[in-house]
Amino acid sequence: MKVKLDLTTNSSNESFVISGGKKPIDVAKEMLEILFNNWRGLNGIKVKKIEHPREKQVMKWIRENPGFDENIIIPWTCNFPTFIFGGNWIDQAMGRKIIVDTCNNESWKTNGLEIEHFLDPSSNHNNPNDEFLDLTDFKSKTREQFNQEDSERFEKEIAEIKKRKTK
């Protein structure tokens, strides 16, 4: 199985900068609200009465940790996870700004996310040692560790589906 480890292997990749003194947790909250609203409906029309399976748990964690100021992974965005960078090196190099590496199949700007500017797809802001809080299990891990665990979860889900089909 191929695993996306860099920032430019997927044509739907999109990176942008958010300023305004926000912390990664603030940006994650805004993006999750957009994501979960999109999950429930299409362009504001509610078509699903169910919520995302992780919505309550994740939004509760965000409400309980408003001061969290580290990098974050949102694993449920379209095509591949969203990585929100907000560590000290960004503060020192750019002032208080957040870099987001995500998929352009989500309409972030259209849905109200205030994007300062988009980054050149060839820009490299990924350090393999950067750690991110994974909102799947609230543990800190590198991008490579996350991708490995995500791949293993996917393989396990496929095996369970195949097992059910053979019954």
Residue 9 pLDDT level (bands cut at 50, 70, 90): very low
The pTM for the full model equals 0.77
Would you call 71 exposed, middle or buried from its count of C-beta atoms within 10 A (0-12, 13-18, 19+)?
A: buried
Digit-coded pLDDT (tens) for 105-150: 777 877 778 888 888 766 666 677 889 999 999 999 998 899 899 8
Q: What is the pLDDT of residue 53?
A: 79
pLDDT grade for 13, boundaries at 50, 70 and 90: confident
50-62 per-position pLDDT tens digit = 667 788 899 999 9
Bridge partners of 140? 133
Per domain, the residue ranges of the chain are: 13-142
First to last CA, the chain: 26
